Copies of this chain bind each other. A is one copy, B any other.
Amino acid sequence: MPSGPHTPQAIDLLLMGETPRVWSFVVSLFGDLAQGPGESLSGVVLTRLAAGAGVKPEAMRVALHRLKRDGWLVSARAGRLSHYRLSETGRAQSAAATPRIYATEGVPGGLWHVLVAGDAAGAAVLTDLAAEGAYVQAGPMVLAGPGPAPDTGGVLLAVEGQATALPDWLRDLVCPPDLVAACARLTAALTAAEALLPGETGPLDRAILRGLAVHGWRRLLLRTPALPDAAFPDSWQGPAARAALARLLARLPRPDLAEVEAEAQG
């Protein structure tokens, strides 16, 4: 199926002036196209998708090698083709990130909690909790996050309720100015790309365009904690980016893996 004449221009917008980090882009592609158990992408498809995003075949081979070595992907040969799929670990991590990446609403606001450590045991608990990505480190021994306070065995001070003040210094910790600016650029790119895509788009191009759009949002989102938009700076365009991504993905239905393989091998 041929794609509309504006597809290369839309791809160029979504690249936002740089070639994506290949292994991370591949993770985004698998998360979007082949996250289910048993779903795989052939080396031929992956090379075509990468090429569409300006990634050279050699860089793709290196990224696939690294992702296998790090336990994200496993591969199998079928005839002359290599097929790649997410490992159990890779699928679990992809599944864990998916709800947040594809969410059409931000993290619910309202309830907050603050956790304060007062000793080494508490500091260790805070470190583990902070790694889960749903907290802002409000001080050396202080985390603030949404929802009810977890039970931490009484080692931390925990107060749970309304955030009556979320100061600017905290919002800047949640999302520093460079990420606020990146989000504004992404929102503009997603909106402009959507405007360019009135017609039909073929399976491979849909996969590339979806992959780039999801990748742009994913890498931005994963650099910020999973907190309500109200905790972000006033200039944070996260809600607009989320809405623009949803519109773009709705216009570019996820292709069947068989369609993609057929176009790549045809």
Q: How many identical chains are in the complex? A: 2
Distance (whole angstroms) from the CB of A148 to the closest CB of chain B: 8
Known contacts: A114-B116, A142-B139. The answer to whether A158 contacts B164 by CB under 8 A is yes
Flag if B159 contacts A112 (CB, 8 Å): yes
Q: How distant is the Cα of A170 from the Cα of B141 in the complex, in angstroms? A: 13
Q: Mark A149-170, 1 if CB is under 8 A from B, else 0.
A: 1011011111111111111111
Known contacts being A152-B165, A165-B154, A167-B154, is A159 close to B118, with CB within 8 Å?
no
State whether B142 touches A155 (Cβ < 8 A). Answer: no
Interface residues in A106-163 (C-beta closer than 8 Å to B): 111-114, 116-119, 122, 138-142, 144, 148-149, 151-152, 154-163
Chain B residue, CB-CB nearest to A170? B157
Residue of B142, B160, B162, B165 touching A164 (CB-CB under 8 A): B160
Contact assessment for A118 and B152 in the assembled complex, using a CB-CB cutoff below 8 Å: no
Name the residue on B nearest A153 (C-beta).
Answer: B165
Is the CB–CB distance between A139 and B118 below 8 Å? yes
Question: For A114, what are the chain B residues with a Cβ–Cβ distance below 8 Å?
Answer: 114, 116, 157, 159
Contact B118 A169 (CB under 8 A): yes
Interface centre among A138, A148, A154, A162 (most CB of B within 10 A): A138
Please name all residues of chain B whose beta carbon is closer than 8 Å to the beta carbon of A111 when the two chains form the complex: 161
Closest Cβ of chain B to A157, distance in Å, is: 5
Write out the residue numbers on chain B whose beta carbons fall within 8 Å of the beta carbon of A164: 113, 148-149, 151, 158-160
Determine whether the beta carbon of A169 is less than 8 Å from that of B139.
no
A173 at the interface (CB under 8 A from B): yes
A170 to B115, CA, bound (A): 12
- Measured in the bound complex, the distance between the Cα atoms of B167 and A106 in whole Å is 32
**What 3 A-B pairs are tightest by C-beta distance, nearest first?**
A161-B161, A118-B169, A158-B165
- 13 example contacts (A-B, Cβ-Cβ < 8 A) are as follows A111-B161, A113-B161, A116-B142, A116-B170, A118-B169, A118-B170, A140-B140, A149-B165, A151-B165, A154-B165, A157-B165, A160-B162, A161-B162
